Amino acid sequence: MGIGDDPQTAAKAAGTGVNPLTKTIVCSGEFRNSGDVTGSHDTSIGEISQNSSGTGTVAYVFSERVERVRAAMRSKDVDAVLLSVGPDLPWLTGFGAHPMERLTMLVLPVDGAPTLVLPGFEIDGVVDSEQIMTLAPWGETDDPIDLVGQALGGATKGRLAIGDHTWSRFLVGLQRRFAQAQWTTAGSVLGPLRATKDAAEVEALARAGSGVDKIAGELQRGEIPVIGRTELEVAADIRRRIVEEGHAKVNFCIVASGPNSASPHHDTGSRVIQPNEPILFDFGGTTAEPPGQPGYCSDTTRMLFTGEPPAEYREAYDALFQAQEAGFNAAQVGTGAQDVDDAARSLLTDAGLGHYFLHRLGHGIGVEAHEDPYLVGGNAEPLLAGNAFSIEPGFYISDKWGARIEDIVVATDDGPRRLNNSSRELAIVDR
């Protein structure tokens, strides 16, 4: 079955049948693999192909990711990884668990086939084109932790890495059932792997960035009216455009006008945008991808001024522009994350704005809007080729005004690459 094909009718936990997607026979809560679910796969990392319309599509090689995770498990003496809600599961398998009270959990032992425990009525939504998983659906009167235990086998007494986003109600139940296990976080296993993007992931991030760049350009050219409208009204226009530009959902949309621009994470509200003031726009979403492939995130921040900015503001913005450029230039492979932060921060400090720079320089980005690596003081870890992160210095003067410039950047062996390419200049609009 190719990526994007609709799954055929699969067996439900309440009955008996064969799921053609994963070659799993399901019999009233029990499961067994009726064939080789690992198969022989091309282990090249993230290929980019062309569909019939000529548009680039990304084929993620999940079997290769599974093997990378297993190698990391062995290095950390982890016997099994357990993933539920959150970004790790779709990154690894292409399938995302619905955040609800019914347990969905991937059981990945260091050896043996991965098993996806999930509510029976969710099974038709699984696209497993590489057949990397055995499915273990459960019915409303079943205990899904029983199926987790079956999939774990002897690892119930071993070292288990639980997904960082797993709900406490599930974790507590697992710990009670598997009382002899040792527990750690799956982030220590998957985090470094997710932080280093392959070519396909960089392409997905670039497409995401291109979509929000188009919207930023429309704002800068005055094609989206702002003066006399509320922040919420302008945000509604931006949100609609984010979806139109290839995103499945909007993750956030900050419109912070006038003194609200001094709040880094302003809650967009009913304030009417006035002439002669700054507006901070910070927005992004998650891309729409074919079934069975995870979406990747966009994130950009740009500034407008509704009229001619006063000299004081322009001077501060010029220093911010230079700080953002310094942070970008410092983002070389091998440079410590904290040193990239310092490159930008020191310029703002020299300009008398350092104490108004209230947050770290940047965060990693991928299937999650914020993930490793974090560009912050105290993080000496060197940047690796494939690390993707934001460079977003800002200044925030309470009750007065603020500003931030943000691009997503990828570290490469040839130097840093911007994935956001709209103008970083302060745009002046009159409508």
Q: Give the lowest-confidence range in 23-37, 93-107, 191-205, 413-427.
A: 23-37
Cβ within 8 Å of residue 313, ≥6 positions away: 278, 305, 401, 403
Say whether pLDDT at 301 is over 70. yes
- Residue 244, H or E segment: helix 231-244
Say whether pLDDT at 18 is over 90. no
Q: Express as a percent the part of the chain with pLDDT over 70.
A: 86
Say whether pLDDT at 215 is over 90. yes
- Say how far apart CA 77 and CA 90 lie, in whole Å: 24
Q: Are residues 347 and 291 in the same domain?
A: yes
- Say how far apart CA 417 and CA 117 lie, in whole Å: 40
- Say how far apart CA 255 and CA 236 lie, in whole Å: 10
- List pLDDT tens digits, range 365-396: 999 999 999 999 999 999 999 999 999 999 99
**How many structural domains does the chain have?**
2
Is the Cβ–Cβ distance between 62 and 90 less than 8 Å? no
- Say how far apart CA 178 and CA 143 lie, in whole Å: 14
Say whether pLDDT at 2 is over 60. no
- When pLDDT is averaged across residues 38-43 and rounded to a whole number, the result is 30
CA dihedral 232, 237, 240, 243 (to 10 degrees): -100
- Say how far apart CA 49 and CA 81 lie, in whole Å: 31
Q: Are residues 150 and 218 in the same domain?
A: no
Q: Give the lowest-confidence range in 1-15, 189-203, 276-290, 304-318.
A: 1-15
Q: Are residues 131 and 257 in the same domain?
A: no
| Among 29, 30, 38, 9, CA closest to 21 | 9
Q: Answer whether residue 8 is part of any domain.
A: no
- Which residue would you say has higher pLDDT here, 16 or 386? 386
Q: Which residues pair with 302 in a beta bridge?
A: 281
Q: Are residues 230 and 366 in the same domain?
A: yes
Q: For tokens 């019915």, what's the residue?
A: 139
C-alpha 285: how far from chain center: 9
pLDDT of res. 77: 97
Cβ within 8 Å of residue 414, ≥6 positions away: none
Say whether pLDDT at 58 is over 60. no
Q: For tokens 């079956």, what's the residue?
A: 150
pLDDT of res. 385: 98
Q: Are residues 136 and 174 in the same domain?
A: yes
Q: Are residues 62 and 23 in the same domain?
A: yes
pLDDT of res. 61: 80
Q: Answer whether residue 4 is part of any domain.
A: no
- Say how far apart CA 148 and CA 14 lie, in whole Å: 17
Average pLDDT, the chain: 88
| Among 85, 62, 137, 75, CA closest to 110 | 75
Domain end marker among 146, 164, 193: 193
Say whether pLDDT at 216 is over 90. yes
Q: Are residues 181 and 121 in the same domain?
A: yes
Residue 231's SS3 state is: helix
pLDDT of res. 128: 85
pLDDT of res. 36: 31
Q: Answer whether residue 319 is part of any domain.
A: yes
- List pLDDT tens digits, range 388-418: 999 999 999 999 999 999 999 999 999 999 9
pLDDT of res. 291: 87
- When pLDDT is averaged across residues 123-132 and rounded to a whole number, the result is 87
pLDDT of res. 227: 98
Is the Cβ–Cβ distance between 294 and 418 less than 8 Å? no
pLDDT of res. 35: 30
Number of H helices, E strands in the chain: 9, 22
- Say how far apart CA 161 and CA 64 lie, in whole Å: 20
Domain end marker among 193, 228, 243: 193
Say whether pLDDT at 23 is over 60. no
pTM here? Answer: 0.85
Domain of 95, CATH number, reads 3.40.350.10
**Residue numbers of the domain that contains 153:** 16-193
Q: Express as a percent the part of the chain with pLDDT over 90.
A: 82
pLDDT of res. 136: 96
- Which residue would you say has higher pLDDT here, 115 or 52? 115
Indicate left, alpha or beta for 386 from its phi (over 0: left) and psi (-120 to 50: alpha).
left
Is the Cβ–Cβ distance between 88 and 157 less than 8 Å? no
Q: Are residues 255 and 359 in the same domain?
A: yes
Instruction: Starting at the earlier edge strand, list the strands of the sheet with 371-375.
Output: 371-375, 362-364, 388-391, 407-410, 417-418
Q: For tokens 């990154």, what's the residue?
A: 91
H-assigned helices in 331-358: 337-350
- Say how far apart CA 101 and CA 204 lie, in whole Å: 31
pLDDT of res. 422: 98
pLDDT of res. 130: 82
pLDDT of res. 60: 58
Q: Answer whether residue 101 is part of any domain.
A: yes
pLDDT band at 43 (very low <50, low <70, confident <90, very high): very low
Domain of 266, CATH number, reads 3.90.230.10
